Amino acid sequence: MSLRTAWNRVRKALGLGGSSPEPPPPPDEEPALVGAGPPKRPPPSTAAALDLPEGPIDTDARGHEA
């Protein structure tokens, strides 16, 4: 006998677990806040690519060049 079957028999004998939960109430006629189906793609980006700096600037904590 599996552990799950044994546990179910113990629960039933002790009256634990109660009956199955009631089904949820039927949906009302209001439309859903989130549309059904796959998510929409974001609009294409209009950002411009920036050029990388020529080299790292070596500065100390005060911002002075080292």
Residue 11 backbone phi and psi in degrees, to 5 = -60, -45
Claim: this prediction has a pTM higher than 0.75: no
Please list the residues that pair with 65 across neighbouring strands: 59
pLDDT higher than threshold 70 for residue 33: yes
15-32 pLDDT tens trace: 776 666 677 777 777 777
pLDDT higher than threshold 80 for residue 8: yes
Structure tokens at 51: 């050029």
Report d(CA 3, CA 53) in Å as an integer: 65
Half-sphere exposure at residue 18, Cβ-oriented, CA atoms within 13 angstroms: 3
49-61 pLDDT tens trace: 888 877 777 778 8
For residue 65, the 8-state DSSP code is: B
